[in-house]
């Protein structure tokens, strides 16, 4: 009767969503997907996921704007959000500033898309208190 933890993947790259979704489902997660920030915000309000993987660079509503909306909406403000990005400035000081900005605005952390899928599973399990 235990309910599977729900992860919402908000990313405009369908292949990334599919790859991560399959890995998460194989590891006991329920997964929903959204292709942009507006759809993702609406789906988060509707489904109240345990975690959100939120792409940083998307058309229409980018990750930072979506994060801001999620954190100011009463029904979604407590959802754990990880910014999920393949982008980043090669200068460590700029990358660290971007990460700190995200955390100050309510994200748990950054997860780079290049991160091994098993590590992503472990990070998400740890975030909701499941032994990896």
The model's pLDDT over 43-93, given as tens digits with 9 standing for 90+, comes to 999 999 999 999 988 988 999 899 999 999 999 999 999 998 876 555 566
**Residue 1, in any domain of the structure:** no
The domain that contains 19 carries what CATH number? 3.40.50.2300
pLDDT score of 39 more than 50: yes
- Report the pLDDT value the prediction gives residue 52, as an integer from 0 to 100: 98
Our count of domains for the chain comes to 1
Q: Is residue 57 part of a domain?
A: yes
30 or 113: whose pLDDT is higher? 30
Q: Which domain holds residue 53?
A: 6-127
Task: Report the distance separating Cα 119 and Cα 90, nearest Å.
Answer: 22
CA dihedral 128, 79, 33, 123 (to 10 degrees): -30
Nearest to 2 by CA among 33, 31, 36, 28: 28
In a domain, 88, yes or no: yes
Q: What 3-state class would DSSP assign to 121?
A: helix
User: What pTM does this model have?
Assistant: 0.90
- The residues with which 33 forms a beta bridge, in sequence order, are 9
Domain-located, residue 132: no
């Amino acid at each position: 009767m235990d309910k599977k933890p729900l992860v919402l993947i908000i990313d405009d790259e369908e292949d990334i969503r599919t790859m991560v979704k399959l890995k998460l489902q194989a590891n006991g997660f329920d997964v929903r997907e959204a292709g942009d920030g507006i759809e993702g915000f609406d789906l988060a309000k509707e489904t109240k996921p345990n975690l959100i993987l939120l792409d940083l660079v998307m058309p229409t509503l980018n990750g930072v704007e979506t994060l801001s909306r999620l954190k100011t909406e009463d029904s979604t403000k407590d959802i754990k959000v990880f910014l999920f990005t393949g982008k980043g400035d090669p200068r460590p000081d700029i990358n660290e500033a971007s990460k700190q900005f995200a955390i100050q605005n309510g994200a748990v952390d950054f997860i780079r898309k290049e991160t091994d899928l098993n590590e992503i599973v472990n990070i998400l399990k740890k975030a909701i208190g499941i032994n990896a």
